[in-house]
A and B are shown apart, each in its own frame.
Chain A
Amino acid sequence: MIYDISYTALAFFFVFVSLVIGLSFYFGRKKSNSSSYYAAGGQIHWAVNGIAFAGDYLSAASFLGICGMIAVSGFDGFLYAIGFIAGWIVALFLIAEPFKRLGKFTFTDALNAKYNSRAITLSASVGTLIISIFYLIPQMVGAGDLVMPLLGLPHWAGVILVGTIVIIIVASAGMASTTYVQFLKGGLLIILSTVLTIYILKNGLNSTPEFEGKPYHSFIHLKPQVNGDKIVSVPDWEVIGQQSVGKKTFVKLSSAGVERWFDWTVKDGNHLLSETLTITQKADGEKLYNGEVKENRKFYQVGHLSKIIVNGQELDKTGPLGPFEFLSTIKESDIVRFLQVKVVDGTDQVAIYYPEVTSGEKFMLPGLKYKIGSDASLWSKMDFVSLMLALFLGTAALPHILIRYYTVKTPRDARKSTILAIAAIGGFYILTLFIGLGAGVNGVMDVESSNMAAPLLARAFGAVLFSVISAVAFATVLGTVAGLIVASSGAIAHDFIDVYLKKNLDDENKVKVGKIAAVLVGIFAIVLGMAFKGINVSFLVGWAFAIAASSNLPAILFLLFWKRTSATGISASIIVGIVVSLAIILTSPTMWDKYGLGAENAIHQLENPALISFPLAVLTVYFVSILYPKKAE
């Protein structure tokens, strides 16, 4: 999309980032030992901790990813919200208090509390590091996306900016600062999402959504002369050529020296050419938007309702709607989504975004992304089950979530924090349904990246709302990345160097090593954030959840609920969980596509590994514990 710098947003952004850094330096001055660096000294109030939990959890994947996926794929985006919240049930009912009672401060320590095994230390710290990195990638990708409209900077610049700020925060202060930053951010995110939802409902639905006097682009429809499977002529346009991709045919026309692509459809025997959006990458490096240079501003934000039905009557627009009315009206109406295909036209690479009318009924059901209906393949049904399993079991096993159990004084406080977090996160997720749908039908979508759905919708309602939401979304990324880097540096400095390598560092050195590790992980995250540009943020997070569910959760559950669990069983299960889930991810259709080998040629069609890797890890911890029982350790 073509973005301009927003100076209001810029001002808010700097105020916010300065506040965040200022806060961390303020708390950083107070910290003195390793426990305050890693776990804020166990002195955080439960209510602050609860909202900070929500702040941690409502990462780029939630705010940017879920809203974006709902806007593009309807209910399938909401599946993530359902799975994310269900994961808290596992965390609260099975893990929270027993872990708190173990009284350790990294995931590895807690897992190893009863065994003191070096194998557990090593496998768990490697697991923590891999999960954190997989969770870091989408945050960094989201940061890059966010900075483009906010500051008018390219994607890579956003990634470097976030990485650098977080390294400064973490290296200067540690967990105390990140808890308060997360508290502030979590609270603001919920308030602002509520405001945005009120705006959406008040605004109602309009088949030609207009904001701030800017009319929605009126898409051109042409009636061609057809001979067999060829377009012969089109009034006022010159026919240049046509290309078929699967069942679709796209026609290239020219008018006044500008070449445009149209989507050829046949309805009731009538041929119709509908305007598409295109980005053409010329061989000489020039990029054309809808056949013209960027400065001509011929590339539009899209997504609208082609038909609005209220109580059986077709309307052009509705007035303000109640929440149920809003959802049911979308269900009865037709949504125009823009889907992407890529074609090679001579030496040009052309990305075509064509309009696809989807009934509201389909849009409000699962199936647009994860096909699960009667015509779906076994692979795609397995994928759906696998995703739901990963989301359910992954939350409790994420290292940066677990670490917050230790930042309050008592198990009672940890419990209250978690319930407050469920309320805050659950409320937020219900709002994402409105924000996502609102973005999908209000003509604000950027066809290149769905991640910007929520901030762009806010921009339609006014620069101030956009600025504040973008700044908070940026802080969301900052806070989550900071939490993940603290967890990773803990895994390296504390688990690996101090405990596994038995360096017995004193308190001061432990903090120093932790900070060096934080800087290194931060740099690594920057590099990965640039490498994974363009991959869906929520989708990437699904992988992190699957790895966490497979490597950590079987180990935790067996440790807490089966007395015969042995140290060898735990470490073997962690290793199997990591290796199998990574192997499935690295051979998945998405990665095959990334390698340039074509998704359809992948050796299997499973995108999410949990359905296979989680049961395997469970079997491993069970059988290895029987084969190598505790006494032998």
Chain B
Amino acid sequence: MHVNSTIEEKESVTKQKSSLGVRLFFIYSIFYVGFVILGVFHYELLSNTIFGGLNLAVVYGISLILFAFLLGVIYDYYCTRYEDQAEMEDQLNIGKTL
């Protein structure tokens, strides 16, 4: 019933990717929770003008959107590197055996 076969991947690569994902998730969560806490406990700070005539609420909100994308790109970059490294090691090992 599987749609696609699961791709064989080294346990170590899976672990590397997973721990990177968890770390990035926590980094983003800190900023997201920061926004919510600011709203609930220090509401008045959100009205401070930060730059370009925009208040903290707008700057923080747009930054959270851009930050999500930035972390996504970082995540993809490192995951691809882990996968490529593992592939290269595999090829080297095959080379050695030959």
Contact = CB atoms under 8 A, between A and B. Distances in A.
B52 A328 contact: yes
Interface string A408-438: 0111100110110011001001100100000
A104 B5 CA distance: 9
Nearest to A498: B1
Interface string A45-62: 000000000000000000
Contacts, number: 159
Nearest to B56: A365
B47 A422 contact: no
A388 B22 CA distance: 20
Contact of A103 (B2, B25, B79): B2
Interface string B53-71: 1110110011011101101
Contact of B57 (A81, A101, A366, A407): A366
Interface stretch (A82-90, A155-163, A258-266): A82-90
A373 interface: yes
A562 interface: no
Contact of A332 (B35, B39, B53): B53
A372 B43 CA distance: 7
Nearest to B80: A412
A429 B75 contact: no
A493 to B, nearest CB: 13
Contacts of B73: 419
A410 B55 contact: no
Contacts of A388: 32, 35-36
Contacts of A85: 64-65, 68
Given A103-B2, A103-B4, A418 B72 contact: yes
Contact of B54 (A331, A367, A430): A331
Interface string B9-34: 10000100110011011001100100
A78 interface: yes
A39 B2 CA distance: 10
A384 B1 contact: no
B98 interface: no
Nearest to A387: B36
B94 interface: no
Interface string A360-399: 0100111100001110000001001100100010000000
Contact residues of B: prevailing secondary structure: helix
A406 B18 CA distance: 19
Contact of A365 (B6, B18, B57): B57
A97 B83 CA distance: 13
A82 B35 contact: yes
Contacts of A384: 36, 39-40
Contact of B66 (A325, A381, A426): A426
B39 A372 contact: yes
A629 interface: no
A82 B39 CA distance: 13
B76 interface: yes
Contact of B40 (A97, A100, A372, A433): A372
Nearest to B63: A82
Main secondary structure of the interface of A (DSSP, over half): helix
A561 B7 CA distance: 20
Contacts of A78: 58, 61
A385 B40 CA distance: 8
A89 B54 contact: no
A365 B32 contact: no
B53 A328 contact: yes
Given A89-B68, A324-B53, A372-B40, A410 B61 contact: no
B55 A365 contact: yes
Interface in A27-49: 34-35, 38-39, 41-42
B76 A415 contact: yes
A109 interface: yes
Contacts of B65: 81-82, 85, 426, 429-430
B86 interface: no
B5 A103 contact: yes
A75 interface: yes
B9 A101 contact: yes
Contacts of A88: 68, 72
A98 interface: yes
A516 interface: no
Given A324-B54, A331-B53, A39 B3 contact: yes
Given A86-B32, A105-B3, A422-B72, A94 B40 contact: no
Given A82-B64, A103-B3, A332-B53, A90 B43 contact: no
B69 A35 contact: no
A102 interface: yes
Interface in A219-235: none
Contacts of A367: 43
B39 to A, nearest CB: 5
Most buried by A among B1, B5, B28, B53: B1
Contacts of B75: 92-93, 415, 419
Contacts of B62: 430, 433
19 contacts: A81-B65, A82-B61, A86-B64, A89-B68, A89-B72, A92-B21, A92-B75, A97-B14, A97-B79, A104-B1, A327-B58, A328-B52, A331-B53, A374-B44, A385-B36, A388-B36, A426-B66, A426-B69, A433-B62
Interface of A: 34-35, 38-39, 41-42, 75, 78-79, 81-82, 85-86, 88-90, 92-94, 97-98, 100-105, 109, 324-325, 327-329, 331-332, 361, 364-367, 372-374, 381, 384-385, 388, 392, 406-407, 409-412, 415-416, 418-419, 422-423, 426, 429-430, 433, 561
8 nearest CB pairs, A to B: A328-B53, A42-B4, A93-B21, A324-B52, A103-B6, A93-B25, A419-B72, A39-B3
